């Protein structure tokens, strides 16, 4: 089931109440059904409205509860394409690794909005990813950014990245930075769901191999974080680093080499 299907489906909880005693009208065991709908994330990108083929020139719409503006960025020759993802969903394929400054680089830029600055609130963000076999090794492309808002030089930052096939989540505020790193090595060509949650001073990263019966892997770290006040022009970057000029930098792109799907952000 895709992330969008999970979010859009009501969860039905059945509570069985057993009555004991001799009061008149006692019916024994009663079943009470309650329906709970999960909160809709402000940011949701499924790409399921796209057809397979080159992404260049396409309009990308969000399916979340908040309006967003998405721009597709390219450096050098455009190589991003929409292709079939996990269980028939549609994913966005980012440029393959070349290790050269003349290679292709691509990212999605989501323009900043107030709700994308979580402050001290609980928030979660994540995406489904399928990593290429070769995805790092040169100065210009030595990391795999999945989602990022805020650069290292900015006053706050949150991001999910895959470093040498291991996912990690960083949340940095006014009081400090906390990073949770998974011990699970992501196998090439397999789809994984990466979810990061910040609650008070704890950052929790959950890695789930889609289609597998193995339980999710959970990494958790606690430490001082403080508010994340991202109220400037810092965009949310998907698939690569985006500089202060709103473009993919000429060096240290942290290009994700592989496919990404079902991008979410939910601020409580």
Task: Kindly state the tokens that stand for 198.
Answer: 């910040």
Tell the residue number behind the tokens 């706050």, with chain if given.
Answer: 156
For 89-112, what is each residue's pLDDT tens digit?
999 999 999 999 999 999 999 999
> How many CA atoms within 13 Å lie on the side-chain side of 259?
23
pTM of the model: 0.86
- Predicted pLDDT of residue 91: 98
pLDDT number for residue 35: 61
What fold, for 40-267? Jelly Rolls (2.60.120)
b/e per residue 174-199 (b: at least 16 CB within 10 A): eeebbbbebebebeeeebbbbbbbbe
The region of weakest confidence among 26-30, 73-77, 100-104, 203-207 is: 26-30
pLDDT category of residue 7 using cuts at 50, 70 and 90: very low
Ordered by start, the domain boundaries in the chain are 4-36, 40-267
Mean pLDDT of 69-91: 96
Query: What does the pLDDT look like over 245-262, one tens digit per residue?
Result: 999 998 899 999 999 999
Name which residue leads in pLDDT, 126 or 15.
126
d(CA 44, CA 61): 9
Share of the chain above pLDDT 90, in %: 79
Query: So what's the pLDDT on residue 189?
Result: 87
- Whether 48 has a pLDDT exceeding 90, the answer reads yes
Q: Is the pLDDT of residue 78 over 80?
A: yes
Confidence of residue 172 (pLDDT cuts 50, 70, 90): very high
pLDDT at 36: 72
Average pLDDT of the chain, as a whole number: 88
């Amino acid at each position: 089931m895709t992330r969008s299907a999970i979010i859009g489906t009501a969860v039905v909880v059945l509570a069985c109440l057993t009555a004991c005693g001799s009061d008149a009208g006692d019916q024994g065991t009663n079943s009470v059904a309650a329906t709970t709908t999960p909160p809709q994330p402000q940011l949701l990108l499924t790409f399921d409205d796209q057809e397979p083929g080159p992404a260049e020139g396409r309009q990308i719409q969000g399916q979340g509860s908040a309006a967003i503006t998405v721009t597709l960025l390219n450096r050098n020759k455009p190589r991003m394409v929409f292709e079939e993802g996990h269980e028939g969903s549609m994913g966005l394929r980012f440029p393959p690794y070349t290790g050269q400054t003349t290679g292709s680089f691509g990212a999605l830029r989501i323009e900043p909005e107030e709700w994308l600055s979580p402050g001290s609130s609980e928030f979660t963000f994540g995406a489904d990813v399928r990593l290429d076999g070769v995805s790092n090794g040169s100065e210009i492309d030595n990391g795999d950014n999945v989602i990022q808002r805020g650069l290292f030089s900015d006053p706050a930052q949150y991001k999910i990245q895959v470093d040498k096939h291991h996912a990690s989540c960083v949340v940095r505020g006014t009081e400090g930075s906390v990073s949770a790193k998974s011990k699970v090595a992501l196998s090439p060509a397999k789809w994984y769901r990466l979810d990061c949650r910040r609650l008070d001073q704890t950052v929790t990263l959950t890695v789930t191999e889609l289609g597998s019966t193995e339980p999710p892997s959970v990494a958790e770290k606690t430490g001082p974080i403080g508010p994340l006040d991202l109220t400037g022009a810092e965009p949310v970057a998907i698939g690569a680093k985006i500089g202060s000029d709103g473009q993919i930098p000429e060096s240290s792109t942290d290009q994700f080499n592989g496919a990404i799907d079902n991008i979410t952000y939910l601020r409580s």
